[in-house]
Chains A and B, each alone.
Chain A
C-alpha cells in the first residue's frame, strides 16, 4: 500500500494516527499522487487537526525530550525521504520508548544519522552564511540550503548579533528569519525587492577579498581540498568566491 500526504507536519501526524489505528501496512509514503499507473493500493491521508493533536500529545507524554526533538528536526530535512523511517520510529516508540535509543534498530540509526547530517549542515552554514549591510544598518543574508535551517541559523545569530537587526532569507523556500525591534522569528516572504546596500559595503567586501587572497600559501595551493571543504553549492553568496 502507498500512502499520500500533504508534506505538512500535521498531515504526517494524521498519517501516523491512521496507520496505528487502522493497522495499515504502507510500503511507500509519497507527497504527491504518482503519475504512472501502479498496482499497489493508494490511500490519500486527509490532514485532520484532531488526530494530529492526539498523536502530538501522546508523543510529548511518552517520548523522551530528545526523541521528540529529533522528530521535529527530521521534519526540517525536507529534501530527504524520511517518512517511512520516521513512521516506524514513532510506532517503535509507542511500543517501548527505550528502544528509541537502540542504534541496532535500522530506523533509529537512520534518523540519528540524518539528524547529524542536519546539524552538520547547520554548522557549516553558521560559518558560510554572509551578511551584507543595508542602508538602514540591517544585516541581510541570502541563503540557499539543502535543508530547512533558517530557524537554527536565526537562533545562532541571535547570540552573535544581539545588538543588531538582521534578516536571513531562504530564497528557495521563501522563508526568512527576521530580527528587528518588532519581530523575532520565521516569516514567509511572498515577494521581495533587492535591497539597497550601505555606503561602506563595497569597501569591506574588497578588504575581505584582499585578506582572503593574502593568507593563502601559494606554494601549497590545493583547490581540490578547498572545494571539499567549501563545495560549490555553498559558494553562491560567499563574497570571496564571487
Chain B
C-alpha cells in the first residue's frame, strides 16, 4: 500500500531523531542576491520539542530501509518496523516550503542503506541537485555521507553541502566489530578523509565535517573518547565531535543489559570537556589521565582540573592574564571579556564582579580581588569540592510553603 506523505514524514522523522548533530552554527553568512536562503553564523533555534531540545533543521532520513543489521540501530534490517522512503523531489519540496515559512534553517539528511551504498548516495545527490540548482536554495544542508559509496558521488555531494559527517558511532574497532560488523573506523572515516583531500586541492575554505560517538554502549573510558576527539581536532579532520548517550532501542546479547537511564550526565561532562579542548586551549591529558581515566561526574571538568592544580590558584582578578582568567572555574569566555574591559577603568573588587553579573558560585573559591580571598572555605581540595557540590545552606528564617514553590519556578536552589 502506498503511504501518504504525512505517514512518511512521521516514520522518517521519528527514525532520525536520535541523531544529535543538528546545529547549523558556525557556517558563514553567505546569502546571494536572487536566491532563497542564507546560513547564519550563530545558529537559530526555530522551535523546541516536547523534550526540550532545539529544532533548527528538518532532520529526516531519506529512507529507513536498510540492508545492514547494526545492533544498536533502530532501523536495522532484522527489526520489524514500519518502513518508508521519500523521493528526492518530495523531500526537496518539503524542505523549500518549510524554509519559506521559517520553520527551519535547512536540511539534515541522513539515510539507511537502500539496495546499495551507491544507490543511496545517488538519491541524496539528486535531492541536493534539485534544491541547489532548480530551487536556487542557498541555505544550510548537512549530509551524512554513506561509508563505502563511490568517491565520485561523495565528491559531488560534498560540493553541494555546507557540512558533511560520517558517524564513527563507537570509539574503538573492537566495539565496532562486535556491534556493527559492516563498519570499521577506517571505513567510516574514509569519506571524510577523501572529502578533505579533495577540498584541499581547491583553495576554497574546506567544508565543515563532524562525527558522532555513542557513549555508554561499550566499555571505553572518557580518556579513550577524548583522546580520539582530540586527535581528530588536531589533524583538522573534524570541526565537531558529538556525543550521544546510548539509548537502548533493541535487545541484543552484545549490548549492555537493560540500563534504567541513558548516561546523560556523562554525555554532558564529555561536551564540557570537548568545549575545553576547542575553546579553552586545554589538552585532553590535562582533563583525563591514566590515574583518572573518567571525568568526575560530581563537578565539571574545568573545576575538576582546577582542584587538581590548586598551585595556580587563587588567581588575582586584577593581575591574571587573559589565558589565566580563562582557566578559572565558572568564568566563561564572556565573563573574561567583561573583566578585561572593566579592569581598564578601575581595579575590581568582589562587588564589582557581582555588578558585572559574573557568576561567582564556583569562581569565588579560586580568586582574590585586590589581594582579598572572599570564601570562608579552607583552601584545600576536598573542602572546596565539598562546598561546590553542596554549598552551605543559607539560614532560612521562616521556611514556608511559598519558598518551596518559588524555587520550583525559578529553578534556583
Contact = CB atoms under 8 A, between A and B. Distances in A.
A20 B55 CA distance: 50
Interface string B16-37: 1110000000000101111111
A67 to B, nearest CB: 14
B103 interface: yes
B102 A131 contact: yes
Given A103-B341, A103-B342, A163 B136 contact: yes
A132 B341 contact: no
Interface string A147-188: 000000000010111111000000000000000000000000
A214 B9 contact: yes
A35 interface: no
A233 interface: no
A139 interface: yes
Q: How many B residues are at the interface, by size bracket?
A: 35 or more
B6 A160 contact: no
Interface centre among B38, B48, B58 (most CB of A within 10 A): B48
Contacts of A222: 50-52
Interface stretch (B39-47, B151-159, B221-229, B288-296): B39-47
A229 B48 contact: yes
A129 B36 CA distance: 17
Interface centre among A104, A123, A141 (most CB of B within 10 A): A104
Contacts of B97: 133, 200, 204
Q: How many A residues are at the interface, by size bracket?
A: 35 or more
Contact of B50 (A161, A200, A226): A226
B241 to A, nearest CB: 21
A230 interface: yes
Main secondary structure of the interface of B (DSSP, over half): loop
Main secondary structure of the interface of A (DSSP, over half): helix
Contact of B36 (A102, A132, A160): A160
Interface string A194-223: 000000100110111011111111101111
B101 A226 contact: no
B314 interface: no
B139 interface: yes
Contact of B46 (A127, A203, A206, A214): A127
A240 interface: yes
Contacts of A139: 100-101
A136 to B, nearest CB: 14
B36 A163 contact: yes
A109 interface: yes
Given A132-B101, A160-B139, A215 B17 contact: yes
A230 B36 contact: no
Contact of B56 (A101, A127, A132, A221): A127
B30 to A, nearest CB: 9
A133 B98 CA distance: 11
A128 B105 CA distance: 11
Nearest to A204: B97
B85 to A, nearest CB: 16
Contacts of B51: 216-218, 220-222, 225-226
A162 B10 contact: no
B200 interface: no
Nearest to B14: A214
B359 to A, nearest CB: 15
A8 interface: no
B279 interface: no
A212 B40 CA distance: 22
B345 interface: yes
Contacts of A130: 101-103
B11 to A, nearest CB: 8
Interface string B118-143: 00000000000000000010010000
B253 interface: no
Nearest to A141: B102
A230 B48 contact: yes
B44 A215 contact: no
A104 B98 CA distance: 46
Interface string B317-352: 000000000000000000000100110011000001
Contact of A212 (B16, B44, B47): B47
Contact of B47 (A103, A109, A126, A230): A230
Interface of B: 5-6, 9-11, 13-14, 16-18, 29, 31-38, 40, 42, 44-56, 58-60, 94, 97-103, 136, 139, 338, 341-342, 345-346, 352, 355-356
Interface of A: 101-104, 109, 123, 126-133, 139, 141, 157, 159-164, 200, 203-204, 206-208, 210-218, 220-223, 225-226, 228-230, 238-240
Given A163-B136, A207-B98, 13 more contacts: A103-B341, A104-B355, A109-B355, A127-B44, A130-B103, A162-B35, A164-B100, A210-B10, A211-B60, A214-B11, A215-B13, A220-B51, A228-B52
6 contacts: A101-B341, A131-B102, A160-B102, A162-B32, A212-B55, A217-B17
